[in-house]
Copies of this chain bind each other. A is one copy, B any other.
Amino acid sequence: MTATIQLKTQPAPIGFIEPAPEEGVVAASVYAGGKRVGGVAIEDAGRWSREPGHFVWIGLLEPSEQLLARVQKQFGLHDLAIEDAAQPHQSPKLEQYGDDAFIVARTAQMEGERISFGETHFFVGKGHIVSVRHGSSTSYAQVRQRAESCQVVLSRGEHYVLYAILDFIVDQYMPVLKSIQDEVENLEDEVFGDDPRAVDVKRLYMLRRDLLRLRNAALPLGDVCRRLEHAEVIAIDPALQPLFRDVNDHLRRVQEEIDSLRELLAFAFEASLMAGQAQQTDVARKLTAWAAILAVPTAIAGIYGMNFEHMPELKSENGYYVVIAAMITICVTLFFAFKRSKWL
């Protein structure tokens, strides 16, 4: 029967014209029966989304308020959701407005040596999915291409697209996590290396800050996925629910790893404090040992530098050599005694 409907609506795209690219619109296409029907202008998107068996997928990048208003008009989106989508710095969340859902996810990715964070907002409803990217984040062109190349997959509709992008976002966390893991391993080497001074306090701090941010991105997204999995907010097709559980599962692994790294860094801080304390004690011991060794010749020399008239040793032929020999003997003995007791 959907076939019949599609036949009836098929005539429309005759003379389908790819709309001109627009600032802020990364992609806007209509899909039906698992295939891309063609590009669509924002102004036609609403009409297409209401065609049975069709869905519209629009990707926006830091859109202007005007553009958002035009999109809002097409799909009847809620004012508050549009307000949120216009400004980044939202927490990951899933909000229901009638039959539509508004979803916020945070993205994280390596840019050279640094982690940069971004945001993607989604409007998902019957026949349409709109993604809005803010800040640093990879384009979803890759997701789009992979979806478009697989008819079966795409035929599952807008909820599948939502899954595909969420999965992609969570996948992006992995190299970030890997990079932090590598840094933590380097840090371990520093802490337990020969020269504890090599421990870079700032780096340890920065790692903890990055982990904190990654956790703030990943943690609330788990709740979003859980609610999608249980179709609490939007009526996700039961056949698609395991997909969202899979994303959630993926996220849980990310979180477990983040938590482990956080604990490891706390342990490393404590280990580093202990190592530092041991080192201080070492330095203090060395100071004490050298002070003791060097005080000996000074004290002896001082004694034979006294100006008493009657000091028999001063007259002896070998007195000087004996004293020098005694000094050296005592110093060397002390040196090895300190060596043996590990003070030096």
Interface positions of A (Cβ within 8 A of B): 78, 80, 84, 89-91, 93, 95, 97, 188, 191-192, 197, 199, 201-202, 204-205, 208-209, 212-213, 216, 242-243, 245-246, 249, 252-253, 256, 260, 263-264, 267-281, 283-288, 290-292, 294-295, 297-299, 301-311, 313-320, 323-324, 327, 342
Residue of B nearest to A302 (CB): B301
Contacts of A264 in B (CB 8 A): 209, 212
Q: B315 to A304, Cβ gap below 8 A?
A: no
* A340-B273 Cα distance, complex, nearest whole Å: 25
Q: B192 to A201, Cβ gap below 8 A?
A: yes
* A283-B278 Cα distance, complex, nearest whole Å: 12
Expressed in whole angstroms, the minimum distance between the Cβ of A307 and any Cβ of chain B is 5
Contact of A295 among B205, B298, B311 (CB under 8 A): B298
Q: B310 to A80, Cβ gap below 8 A?
A: no
Q: A245 to B212, Cβ gap below 8 A?
A: no
Contacts of A308 in B (CB 8 A): 304, 313-314, 319-320, 323
With A192-B201, A276-B278 known as contacts, the answer to whether A253 contacts B306 (CB < 8 A) is no
Contacts of A192 in B (CB 8 A): 201-202, 205
| Known A276-B278, A277-B277, A310-B316; 4 more pairs at CB < 8 Å | A97-B242, A290-B292, A303-B324, A306-B320
Total copies of this chain within the assembly: 5
* A242-B291 Cα distance, complex, nearest whole Å: 71
* A91-B277 Cα distance, complex, nearest whole Å: 38
* Leading 8 A-B pairs by shortest Cβ distance: A301-B302, A304-B306, A294-B295, A308-B320, A287-B288, A305-B305, A192-B202, A205-B271
* A275-B281 Cα distance, complex, nearest whole Å: 11
Contact of A268 among B197, B205, B276 (CB under 8 A): B205
